[in-house]
């Protein structure tokens, strides 16, 4: 299972850089829900999904090899999820940075939880589309995100092609 998303850089990252997610954090007070609520209790066993290897180390290593072969600087980081559809406030960014977030977005973590619940191994990537609210220097606009994604697309395609090639050499 490959999951990707768009994120703000909580730490100093270049726009249009690609980051491999090594771990995720949910701001539960903000999100108010886990995608497994009401579903997990229907199981007789294994109602509590372990997320200790939610972002499969073996897949992250595979992506790292692919990135190296493609000449792409792929960093790992912790991704924090917030609900949208709004950008985070500077105070929220500060809070998330304090708990270890390197990038922040409005998706990904929910999908990773559901995929792990279903027994899937996950590789998650995100493209850093813009600086975080406290470093942005102006009103945040979706057009900036779209422009950054358009610029990052060739790099992301090369990386995904490299990952697919590496899959031919992979055994879990």
User: What are the residue numbers of the active site?
Assistant: 88
Contact of 139 with 25, CB cutoff 8 Å: no
Nearest Cα to Cα of residue 21 among 81, 69, 68: 81
> CA-to-CA distance for 165 and 151, rounded, in angstroms?
23
Residue 101 makes CB contacts below 8 A (sequence gap 6+) with 10, 25, 78, 79, 80
Q: Are 98 and 92 in contact (CB under 8 A)?
A: no
**3-state SS class at 55:** coil
8 A C-beta contact, residue 64 and residue 20: yes
């Amino acid at each position: 299972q490959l999951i990707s998303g768009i994120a703000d850089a909580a730490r100093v990252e270049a726009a249009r850089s690609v980051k491999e997610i090594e771990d995720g954090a949910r701001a539960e007070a903000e999100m108010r829900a886990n995608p497994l609520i009401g579903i997990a209790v229907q199981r007789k066993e294994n109602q509590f999904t372990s997320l200790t290897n939610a972002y499969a180390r073996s897949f992250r290593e595979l992506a790292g090899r692919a990135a190296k072969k493609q000449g792409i600087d792929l960093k790992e980081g912790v991704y924090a999820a917030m609900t949208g559809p709004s950008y985070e406030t500077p105070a929220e960014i500060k809070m998330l940075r304090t708990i270890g977030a390197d990038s922040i977005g409005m998706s990904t973590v929910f999908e990773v939880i559901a995929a792990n619940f279903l027994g899937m191994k996950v590789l998650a990537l995100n493209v850093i589309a813009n600086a975080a609210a406290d470093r942005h220097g102006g009103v945040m606009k979706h057009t900036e995100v779209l422009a950054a994604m358009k610029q990052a697309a060739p790099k992301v395609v090369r990386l995904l092609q490299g990952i697919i090639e590496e899959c031919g050499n992979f055994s879990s």
